[in-house]
Structure 1
Amino acid sequence: MAFAWKAAGITYNRYLAVAARVVRRSLKEGPRLQAERRGEMDLRFAKWQNGKQGEVKNLSEANAAAASELAAQEAKSS
């Protein structure tokens, strides 16, 4: 089987993230800590309206807030 990640039902990007995490965890203590810091990401986005940039937000925090709002709306409708 040429593409095990496809058979597992994950995307190539997810496959790479898992592989990178495994390699980082297999390193000795000093190099492992440096590699783990390089592996951290902080994604931000901003909504643009009428040619002006809105507030810059952290993607993970925005996703968590949206998920909690959705859960609250579903709880109200039940």
Structure 2
Amino acid sequence: MAFAWKASGLTYNKYLSVAARTLRRSLKDDKRLAAERRGEMELRFAKWTNGKQGDVKNVSEANAASMAEAASSSSS
């Protein structure tokens, strides 16, 4: 017998994400806010050149900027 999440076409990580979000939304406000803050994640990266660290950038912002740049160059 297959797992329900697998049969519905979800990956295990996506299933865990949906289950965690559902659980957080069912909590009372004070507990919910604390749980949501724990679930937030911010990833940063820096490009190193010649042994020196470059500017530290947020991954999601850099990704959005590169996608917007790619979309504007492909539509031109």
TM-score (norm 2): 0.81
> Which residue of the partner structure matches residue 29 of structure 1?
29
Runs of 4+ in 1 over 6 A off after TM superposition: none
**Secondary structure, aligned partner of 1:34:** helix
Question: How far apart are the structure 1 equivalents of 2:21 and 2:51?
Answer: 39
1:15 alignment partner, SS class? helix
Equivalents in 2 of 1:10, 1:48: separation in Å?
A: 37
Which residue number corresponds to residue 75 of structure 2? 75
Instruction: Flag the 1:31–1:55 CA change in 2: closer, same or farther, 3 A.
Output: same
The offset of 1:54, in angstroms, is: 1.5
1:19-43 C-alpha deviation (Å, 9 max, x unpaired): 1111101111111111111111111
Structure 1: runs of 5+ lacking an equivalent: none
Question: How many equivalent residue pairs?
Answer: 76
What RMSD, in angstroms, separates the aligned Cα atoms of the two structures?
1.7
Query: Hey, what does 1:43 align to over in structure 2?
Result: 43
Distance 1:71 1:14, change over 3 A: same
Q: In 2 relative to 1, CA 55–9 (structure 1 residues): closer, same or farther, beyond 3 Å?
A: farther
Offset at residue 6 of structure 1 (A) = 3.6
Task: Give the superposition deviation at 1:53.
Answer: 1.7
- Normalised to the residue count of structure 1, the TM-score between the two structures is 0.80
Unaligned runs of 5+ in 2: none
TM-superposed CA distance for 1:16, in Å, is 1.7
